[in-house]
């Protein structure tokens, strides 16, 4: 369950958006912001852990809202979560093809439509929809298969992450990271400003609570899994980003487009650039799997409370 929760938290865009975040907030703003966001998320996870221990039922927040505030609030909470999951899945559909287009530029061509100033090409859309169907099939055959795939991917992410850390810290220098802010940046406001986007990267741990009913473990271990999921994901973010700020000067990374990927590539480790790219891809698919696993359980909990037809 820890692997399932942590893999659902660690997404993909943090790998390549660190360039723009370094430029806007400084390396210190992003990394220290992630540290604070991790602590805040752990406190939130502690409340989830307590509730998951008391109510180990499918649905997580829907169940807690129903018990505490009644049917109306639970209805709003359930559909808010389902809406959020649907929006994130829509993002993953295009993000997956965006990543692959870096390897196969031909995907970024052909018929397209524009939304929010971004062009979405037909080949990208086809690939994203195909990936969605594959993830759906994994979940269709049960949580055991999906969680098994999740554990394999999370293990691969950890192995690659450790390699990035070893190379980044052994071949890099603290002088590349420090000073962690540009002369025109105010350290504390920069850290505080990044905390909000950082919190969006700390979501996903609630998947453990949503799946609590099917977990083959004690209630206490379920609660512990929620907290450990957040702690592991936060540490992963911070250490990988810090290694990228060690391997070359972070100000240089801020001028690139692909964040951690470009950091290791321009430091003379192109293979590790591809490894960082792989972490981004694995993070995307693992988060995708977590959302697909959680969404049906939310629908189930709404149906149990007679807020949806029993057929669900």
More confident residue, 73 or 141: 73
Whether residue 254 lies inside any domain: the answer is yes
Residue 84 lies in a domain: no
Residue 200 lies in a domain: yes
Q: In this structure, is residue 109 part of a structural domain?
A: no
Structurally, the chain folds into a number of domains equal to 1
Average pLDDT over residues 200-224: 74
pLDDT recorded at residue 241: 96
The predicted pLDDT at position 47 comes to 85
- 239 CB neighbour count, 10 Å cutoff: 18
Q: Averaged over 29-42, what is the pLDDT?
A: 94
Asked whether residue 271 is assigned to any structural domain, the reply reads yes
180 domain-assigned: yes
Summarize pLDDT for 98-116 with one digit per residue, the tens.
Answer: 777 777 777 677 667 777 6
The CB-based long-range contact list for 304-311 (8 Å cut-off, 24+ gap) reads 304/59, 305/62, 305/66, 305/71, 305/74, 307/71, 307/74, 307/75, 307/78
Q: Are 24 and 310 in contact (CB under 8 A)?
A: no
Encode pLDDT of 2-20 as tens digits: 767 777 788 888 898 899 9
Q: Return the top range by mean pLDDT from 3-17, 261-275, 281-295.
A: 261-275
Mean pLDDT over 213-238 rounds to 80
Question: Could you give the residue ranges of the DSSP H alpha helices within 70-142?
Answer: 71-101, 122-140
Q: For residue range 161-206, what is the model confidence (pLDDT) as tens digits?
A: 999 999 999 999 999 999 999 988 999 999 999 999 999 888 877 7
Whether 25 and 247 have beta carbons less than 8 Å apart is answered as no
> Has residue 82 been placed in a domain?
no
119 φ/ψ angles, rounded to the nearest 5 degrees: -85, 130
| pLDDT for position 266 | 94
Residue 126 belongs to a domain: no
Domain that holds residue 173: 2-60+141-302
Higher pLDDT: 98 or 269? It is 269
């Amino acid at each position: 369950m820890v692997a399932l929760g942590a893999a659902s938290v660690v997404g993909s865009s943090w790998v390549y958006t660190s360039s723009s975040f370094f430029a806007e907030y400084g390396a210190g703003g992003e990394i220290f912001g992630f540290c604070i966001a991790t602590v805040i998320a752990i406190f939130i996870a502690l409340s989830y852990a307590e509730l998951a221990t008391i109510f180990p039922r499918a649905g997580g927040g829907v169940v807690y809202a129903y018990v505490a505030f009644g049917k109306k609030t639970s209805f709003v909470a359930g559909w808010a979560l389902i809406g959020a999951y649907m929006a994130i899945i829509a993002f993953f559909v295009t993000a997956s093809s965006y990543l692959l287009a870096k390897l196969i530029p031909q995907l970024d061509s052909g018929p397209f439509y524009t939304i929010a100033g971004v062009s979405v090409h037909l080949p990208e859309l086809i690939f994203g929809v195909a990936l969605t169907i594959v993830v759906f099939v994994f979940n269709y055959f049960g949580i055991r298969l999906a969680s098994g795939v999740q554990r394999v991917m999370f293990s691969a992410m950890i192995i690659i992450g450790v390699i990035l850390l070893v190379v980044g810290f052994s071949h890099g220098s603290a002088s590349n990271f420090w000073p962690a802010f540009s002369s025109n940046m105010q350290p504390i406001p920069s850290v505080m400003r990044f905390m909000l986007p950082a919190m969006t990267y700390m979501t996903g741990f609630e998947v453990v609570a949503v799946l609590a009913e099917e977990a083959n473990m004690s209630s206490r271990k379920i609660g512990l899994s929620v907290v450990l999921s957040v702690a592991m994901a936060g540490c992963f973010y911070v250490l990988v980003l810090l290694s990228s700020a060690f391997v070359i000067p972070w100000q240089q990374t801020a001028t690139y487009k692909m964040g951690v990927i470009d950091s290791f590539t321009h430091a003379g480790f192109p293979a590790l650039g591809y490894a960082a790219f792989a972490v981004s891809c694995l993070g995307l698919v693992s988060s995708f799997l977590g959302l697909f696993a959680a969404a049906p359980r939310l629908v189930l909990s709404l149906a149990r409370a007679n807020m949806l037809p029993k057929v669900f």
